[in-house]
């Protein structure tokens, strides 16, 4: 049973790290030079496969795009479900 706890805790921590990477990705849109750097390249490579899942959902309202917000929200829901189940 302890092994299952450590696995769930590890998944929970990985999701938390990925949420922070998504936040960094969103903040990079305010600093255009950063997204052109090597750091921006790796952040894009980590984030884009997950964000592509939301491409068919209309998340753009005017000049605002809530795609990252929706992605973070769903990851937080997954975290909460992990805590409820285990």
Confidence bin at 73 (pLDDT 50/70/90): very high
Which tops the pLDDT comparison, 59 or 48?
A: 48
Give the per-residue pLDDT at 63: 86
Residue 1, pLDDT > 90, answer no
d(CA 54, CA 9): 26
Percentage with pLDDT > 90 across the chain: 76
Give the per-residue pLDDT at 18: 98
**pTM of the prediction?**
0.90
What DSSP character marks residue 58?
-
d(CA 5, CA 37): 38
């Amino acid at each position: 049973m302890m092994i299952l706890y450590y696995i769930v805790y590890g998944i929970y921590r990985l999701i938390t790290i990925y949420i922070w990477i998504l936040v960094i990705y969103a903040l990079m849109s305010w600093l255009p030079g950063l997204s052109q750097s090597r750091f921006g390249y790796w952040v894009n490579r980590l984030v884009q496969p997950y964000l592509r899942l939301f491409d068919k959902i209309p998340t753009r309202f005017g000049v605002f795009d809530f795609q990252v917000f929706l992605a973070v929200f769903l990851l937080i829901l997954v975290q909460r479900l992990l805590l409820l189940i285990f």
